[in-house]
Structure 1
Amino acid sequence: MSRAKGNVAEDRASLFLLENGYMIVDKNFYSRFGEIDIIAYKEEVWHFVEVKSALDYELAVQNITKSKLSKLIKTGDVYLKKNALHVDYMYDAIIVTPENIWHLENITL
């Protein structure tokens, strides 16, 4: 995904989260392990969100690989330690297609 398309998908995902009661805490947090697209908060739970965009759902979901999820988890750990946070959290994915947005909560390896 090009950076421009990625930015559009991340903007749509952020708006989706805001409309569903989440607070956006940070975007594009980098560590040596990778990047977290969106860090959000709702009902005392922090959400580390990977945004994937494609023409259809299956294509986007296939891009959430074990390697990508492992990097997301490691980067989430860095964020928690850097900010001295001892909170409930989960790793999510948001799938963005031209017609729809899906929020997959608490994804695991």
Structure 2
Amino acid sequence: MKFLLRNIVSREKGAIAEKKAGDFLKQRGFEIIEYNFFSKYGEIDIIALKDNIVHFVEVKSGVNFNPVYAITAKKIERILKTIKYYILLNSLDLPYCIDAICIENGSISFIENITF
């Protein structure tokens, strides 16, 4: 029961962070294409478009720690596989990048074009 409750709370926190991140992007001229795109490889939190570039955005949040450290090489590998699937599924022919939005203690950091 504790695991289930903790999982529900974690999803609620994630949804709140993704809403804040989406609002942040919209305020900066991004068009949100999709939230929470799932594939068998993983999930992309936000897919957005700006200046004919598709932005695949990973959202991380935390309290009293920098959530950027939760973006690992393994996580990027899963995101890349999911992006390839998304591109194939949607016949996408636009440049793209991977971005991160980290929300720490209510403060938002936008990291563009992350790589490993």
TM category, shorter: over 0.9
Question: CA offsets, 1:66-98, max 9 Å, x none?
Answer: 011111111011111100011110001100123
TM-score (norm 2): 0.89
Instruction: Give the partner amino acid of 1:31.
Output: S
Q: After the TM superposition, which residues 54-69 of structure 1 pair with which residues of structure 2 at under 5 Å, given as runs?
A: 54-56=62-64, 58=66, 60-69=67-76
SS at match of 1:107: coil
- Structure 1 residue 99: Cα displacement: 2.8
TM-score normalized by the length of structure 1 = 0.94
- Greater relative contact order (Cα < 8 A, sep 6+): 1
Q: Which runs of 4+ in 1 moved over 3 A?
A: none
Q: Among the aligned pairs, what percent are the same residue?
A: 44
Larger CA Rg, structure 1 vs 2: 2
Q: Which has the higher helix share?
A: 2
Number of the residue aligned with 2:103 = 96
Q: Is the counterpart of residue 47 in structure 1 residue 55 in structure 2?
A: yes
Number of aligned residues? 108
Kindly report the root-mean-square deviation, in angstroms, between the aligned alpha carbons of the 2 structures: 1.2
In structure 2, the gaps of 5 or more residues are 1-8
Change (3 A) 1:69 1:91: same
